[in-house]
Structure 1
């Protein structure tokens, strides 16, 4: 039996070396650069444009209220010398109430803008995650790492970087191709 074990071992060794060197190997450890995917994804641009338009409209509404209040304040300052004490108190109270309302409105708008930004970002990230998951399944990858540019992956061979391939597929899917 020992005479048979040596040739079988040599054949197994040669076969494994041939497999290693002759068959194209697919790196089991691959990654995508999340920042590049988010920035290069066409939906990000579309969503960001929609978000910026909405945010600009909300800010413009708040700015117009502030401008109106500032006009009333200037008018009050010009006319206060001719007002009675009761009129002064009422006008000051009115201006103060308007200022508080404007401040509350600005805070509500800022909160809404932050929520919309978070929602937009999450929509894009969900798209990317779903695509990468399906891509990984189709291509037979067990793990696809996400590099965020903050040092998660310090070095990787270019052959391990799927970012551009995934980005092209993601944009094609978004465009309906």
Structure 2
């Protein structure tokens, strides 16, 4: 019986050490909340402020053109009674053309802003993706998943959430630029 006790004790000890080691070993799987990273990233805030300034300027240009058109329309309405039929037709055609030009300009501005917004968002996401890849390699993660709140990641332990750590590091890296 004594001959079996020592090997069994050694096996139990080895099993305990193995269990303890694997239990406390850092997981090779983790996740980040993409929305929190995008919204919390300092570059997003800076780029968004610049984008909003540009959008406001372009909107002010459209508003200025619309105000000019409305002034012309009011002037036409006041003078209409003293105009000839030919002058009325000509003025209506000019107002119609000006309104169409403003509408076309407004659509072009909206398309430009939409494209720039998409480009800005993609640039920020590329920054984040590059940083997460670098972080994962440095920290020894095999997989870092991105959760967007739309069902991609249904459950994960909170200890697997790297969002705050990566967000802090990402912002520190951005500030260092």
- Asked if TM exceeds 0.5, the reply is yes
Deviations 1:125-149 (A, max 9, x none): 0100000000000001111000001
Query: Which region of structure 1 is more displaced relative to structure 2, 133-142 or 13-22?
Result: 13-22
Query: Which region of structure 1 is more displaced relative to structure 2, 154-163 or 101-110?
Result: 154-163
Unaligned runs of at least 5 residues, structure 2:
1-6
Q: Residues of 2 paired with 1:64 and 1:11: CA distance?
A: 86
How far does residue 13 in structure 1 lie from its aligned partner after superposition?
Answer: 6.7
SS at match of 2:104: helix
Residue in 2 that maps onto 1:167? 167
Residue in 2 that maps onto 1:137? 137
Deviations 1:60-96 (A, max 9, x none): 1011001100110010011010001111111011000
Unaligned runs of at least 5 residues, structure 1:
1-6
Indicate whether 1:29 and 2:34 are aligned. no
**Structure 2 counterparts to residues 15-164 of structure 1, below 5 A:** 15-22=14-21, 24-164=24-164
Q: Residues of 2 paired with 1:50 and 1:76: CA distance?
A: 39
Gap change, CA 1:87 and 1:13, over 3 Å in 2: farther
Contact 2:131 2:170 in 1 (8 A): yes
Q: Which contiguous aligned blocks of 4+ residues in structure 1 show a shift greater than 6 angstroms?
A: none
Q: Residues of 1 paired with 2:79 and 2:11: CA distance?
A: 101
Q: Residues of 2 paired with 1:10 and 1:28: CA distance?
A: 31
SS at match of 2:20: helix
Q: Residues of 1 paired with 2:144 and 2:109: CA distance?
A: 39
Gap change, CA 1:71 and 1:45, over 3 Å in 2: same
SS at match of 2:144: strand
TM-score by length of 2: 0.90
